[in-house]
Amino acid sequence: MGLYNIFNIAGSGMSAQSVRLNTTASNIANADSVASSVDKTYKARHPVFEAELARATNGQQQSESYSVKVQGIVESDKPLLKEYSPGHPLADADGYIYKPNVNVVEEMADMISASQSYQMNVQVADATKSMLQQTLRLGQ
């Protein structure tokens, strides 16, 4: 694997963590929302990552490079929070309101993890850039 492939890997990792940060931010922003039915209630969303192996042939030489791909974003299947509040304007006929299945503490931990992963990918790209620059200086 050449040093240039590392930029693809780190870049795809940063892109994937950016999606993770955005979905986590969306979950936190909607954590306190209320709905009148299960169908209208916000459900926590999480990205699904996949390690992707891309094979390219260059003449007779075959090289492999890995990247991170966001396969999709799925909604959580955790049960929604059902609260009895007959005086609430969004209460259903039985007096219940529905709240998202978002755990803010878990989301904050996920946000910290995604942020650190993003920073690590930036550091990998910076270290690779530094190595390439030092290699070019050797030829002078």
pLDDT at 16: 94
pLDDT digit string, tens, across residues 53-89: 554 434 444 456 678 889 899 999 999 999 999 999 9
pLDDT digit string, tens, across residues 92-122: 999 999 999 999 999 999 999 999 999 999 9
Instruction: Provide φ and ψ at 73, rounded to 5°.
Output: -120, 125
Task: Give CA–CA dist 26/11, Å, rounded.
Answer: 23
E-strand ranges in 59-123 read: 61-75, 81-84, 96-99
Check: CB of residue 19 under 8 Å from CB of residue 47.
yes
Domain segments of the chain as ranges = 1-139
pLDDT at 57: 39
pLDDT digit string, tens, across residues 14-54: 999 999 999 999 999 999 999 999 999 999 999 998 876 55
